[in-house]
A and B are shown apart, each in its own frame.
Chain A
Amino acid sequence: MRPLLAVDGLTKHFPLRGGLLNRTQAVVHAVDDVSFQVEAGETLGIVGESGCGKSTTARLLMHLVPLDRGTIAFDGKAIGAREALSRRGLHRQMQMVFQDSYASLNPRLPVATSIAFGPLVHGLAKSAALSRARDLLDAVGLDPLLFANRYPHELSGGQRQRINVARALALEPRLVILDEAVSALDKSIEAQVLNLLIDLKGRFDLTYVFISHDLNVVRFISNRVMVMYLGKVVEIGPVDPIYRKPKHPYTRALLSAMPSMDPSRRTMEAPLSGDPPNPINPPSGCRFRTRCAFAEAVCAEVVPALAMDDDGRAVACHMLTPGSGHSRA
C-alpha cells in the first residue's frame, strides 16, 4: 500500500549570519537527512528533546519553511515539484495544530470566523463556511450557540485548543500535524483533549503526526514512534516494542529518564549527564556519541545509517550494524 506521506532525505540548515559582511557564521543543523513514512489511518508520534528538530520537521512538512534538500510526497504526489500538488492543494490535505493556543488564533476574530476563514479562502460561500464552523464547534464539544461569537481571550486554554483543532479540520484534511498540541494544558484538561483527538480521528478518518516531548502521551496516542536527536532519526518503529525494549542507547536513556511513578522504585542515577549539545555544529559521526556510554572511534568517523530489522523497526547505531567496526556490533 502506498503511504499517505512519504518523506525522503529531508534536510534543513539555518545559517546564522552576522559580522561585518553579514556572512554566515555558523549553521544550525535543525533537520538532517530525515526519512520516514506515515500510513493512512495511523498516528506517528515524534519524540525528542529541545533542539532535536521535531518542530522544524513539522514546519517542513507543512511547507511553512522551505526545505534545503529532500522530497515530501503526499499520497504519491510530490509536493513543490512541477505538475505536483500545489501548496494550496497541500493545505487542503494537511493541517496543523500548534502548542500556543492563544498565539495561533487571531485575537480580533470571533472563533467561528477563525474556523470559517480557511474554507472561505478556499472558495466556500460565506454562509456555508460559517455553518461548517458551527458543525465543527459541535464536533469538538463546544456548543455553537454559546461559543461561536466569543473571542479567544474569553476562552480557557483547553477550549482554545479545541477551537484550533476545529480550525485545522475546517478544510477536511486527511492528515493533521499536532505539534505539542496538548503540552501547555493541565493534566485533567489534557486528558479531555486527547479523548477528543481519538474520537475525531475515528469520525473523520484522520491520520495524525503527533509531536510531543511527553513520552507517556506519545505512547498512549501513537501506533508508531520516531525518536529524534539533534536533527537525526535515531530509532523508528511500532510504539510498544520501542517502549518495552528500546534498542538505541539514546532511546533507552530517554525512557529511563522518565520520572518513576512508583515511590518504592525511584530513579537513583540519571541515565545521561549534561544537556543535549547545541545543534550548531553538531558532533561528527553519530551525534549522540558525546553523551553515549558505548561510543568508540568509529562513532566519531561514520554517520550510522538507519538499519531496518525484522520487526519493522529501524535503528541508527553502529552497535546494531554488523561489520560497522564497533566492538559490540
Chain B
Amino acid sequence: MPPIVSVEDLRVRFTTPDAVVHAVNGVSFELDAGRVLGILGESGSGKSVTLRALIGLLPPRRSHVEGRISVAGHDIVNMSDAELREVRGTKIAMIFQEPMTALDPVFTIGQQIAETIVRHEGVPRDAANRRALELLEMVQIPSAARRLKSYPHEMSGGMRQRAMIALALSCSPAVLLADEPTTALDVTVQIQIIVLLRQLQQELGMAVVFVTHDVGVAVEVADRIAVMYAGRFVETGPTDSVIRSPSHPYTAGLLASTVLGAAQGTRLEAIPGAPPDMTALPPGCSFAQRCRFADKRCIRDLPPEVALASDHMVRCLRVAAGEIPLARPKVAETVR
C-alpha cells in the first residue's frame, strides 16, 4: 500500500519587506496509514510551518511553497482553494494549540460540528446533530447532550480541546495533524488528552503527524520521531532508537539538556548558543556553530541524509563518517 502522506523536498519561505525567512529547507518523509509521526523541535525550527503546508494553510501571497506533498493521493501544493476545501476535513484535518482561538466563539460546539458535517457530507441537519452527539461521546465529554449547546467560553481548557478533536474527526479524516495540542494544558489534563488521542488513533486507524517541543509528549504518542532543526529533519527514526541512542549531536544535546534524571543541583549539559537566523542560514550544517564536534567540512558542506539503519536517518557529516562515538545516554528514570 502506498504511504498516505508523502512529502518530497518541501521548502517554504516567507517574504517580508526586510528579508526572506527560510522556514522549511528540504523536508522529505513518508507516513503509512495508521502510523504516528512525532515532529520534535524548538520554536522557529519550522515544525508548525511544515504542518500547515501539509493542509495548505499557509498564506498564499506571503509564502512560497516548493516540493511535492501528497495526502491520500491528492497533490496539496498545486490545488485550488475550492479543491483544498474538499480535501480538508474529509481526508486531512488539524487540531491546534489554542482551542479558544481555533473554535468560533459565537456558535455552540454542536452547531460548529453539525455545520461541518452538513457542509462536507450533505446530510440533513438532524442527522448531523446526532453525529455531533456521538462525536462528543467519542471524545469522552461528560453530559455530551448538554455540552452540545455550550459555547467555547463556557468550557474548561481540557474540554475545549476535546471539542476541537471531535470537530476535527467529524468527517473521519485519514490523516490528523496535531500542532502542540497539549502544550497549553495542565499536566493532569495533558495526559488525558494524550491517552484519548492515542486511543482514537488506534480505533479509527488514522495516520497522525504530531508536532511538539516536549520530548516526553513525543515519546508518549509517536511511533517514529523526526527531530527538526532550522527547517530540516536532522534525525528520523523509531521513537525507541531516537530516544535511547540519539545519533545527531543536536538530538543528543537536546536530550542531555532536559533535566530529567540529572543529578540535583549539578550543571546541565546545555547546548551553547542559539538557533541560527532563518533569514541568513549558513551554507553548511545549520547546527555547526553550536556543535562541539563541528569541523571545517561541517561549516562548508550541507550534510546529506544518511541511513544508519534501514529506518533510522541522520544528517551529520561526522556521524556518517563514523567519527563521532555515538552517545548512549542512560534511559531516564521514570517517576511512578
Contact = CB atoms under 8 A, between A and B. Distances in A.
Interface of A: 49-50, 156, 158, 186-192, 194-195, 198-199, 213, 215-217, 219-222, 239-240, 243-244, 253-276
A132 to B, nearest CB: 26
A240 B259 contact: no
Interface residues on B, range: 35 or more
Interface string B168-202: 00000000000000000011111110110010000
Given A257-B190, A259-B190, 7 more contacts: A187-B254, A192-B271, A215-B187, A239-B264, A257-B187, A259-B194, A273-B192
A167 B269 CA distance: 26
Nearest to A252: B336
Contact of B43 (A186, A199, A271): A186
A267 B220 contact: yes
Interface in B190-216: 190-192, 194-195, 198, 213-216
Given A254-B187, A255-B335, A188 B257 contact: yes
B268 interface: yes
Contacts of A156: 274
A195 B253 CA distance: 15
A259 B254 contact: no
Nearest to B267: A195
Interface stretch (B23-31, B112-120, B154-162): B154-162
Interface of B is mostly: loop
11 contacts: A186-B42, A188-B271, A191-B257, A216-B259, A222-B264, A254-B188, A256-B335, A271-B188, A272-B188, A274-B142, A274-B158
B187 A258 contact: yes
B325 interface: no
A261 B198 CA distance: 16
Contacts of A273: 192
A275 B159 contact: yes
Given A195-B270, A254-B187, A275-B159, A261 B195 contact: no
A267 B159 contact: no
Nearest to A195: B267
Nearest to B239: A263
A267 B187 CA distance: 13
A192 B258 contact: no
Closest 8 CB pairs of A and B: A259-B216, A191-B257, A191-B270, A49-B186, A186-B42, A220-B259, A275-B156, A261-B332
Interface string B241-266: 00100000000011001111110110
Contacts of A269: 195
B258 to A, nearest CB: 6
B301 interface: no
Interface in B215-240: 215-217, 219-220, 239-240
Contact of A188 (B198, B214, B267, B270): B270
Contacts of A195: 267-268, 270
Interface string B143-171: 00000000000001111000000000000
Nearest to B266: A198
Nearest to B332: A261
B239 A260 contact: no
B213 A186 contact: yes
A181 B192 CA distance: 27
B187 A49 contact: yes
- Of residues A187, A243, A266, A273, which shows the largest number of chain B Cβ atoms within 10 Å of its Cβ? A187
B334 interface: yes
Given A191-B270, A213-B186, A275-B156, A267 B191 contact: yes
A239 B268 CA distance: 18
Contacts of B43: 186
Nearest to A274: B158
A150 B172 CA distance: 52
A243 B336 CA distance: 9
- Of residues B190, B239, B254, B264, which shows the largest number of chain A Cβ atoms within 10 Å of its Cβ? B264
Nearest to B268: A191
B272 interface: yes
B321 interface: no
A260 B213 contact: no
B331 interface: yes
B137 to A, nearest CB: 15
A244 B336 CA distance: 8
Contacts of A190: 257
Nearest to B244: A263
A73 to B, nearest CB: 27
Contact of A275 (B158, B198, B216, B271): B158
Given A49-B187, A189-B274, A261 B216 contact: yes
B186 A188 contact: no
Contacts of B267: 195, 198-199
A227 to B, nearest CB: 12
Contacts of A186: 42-43, 213, 275
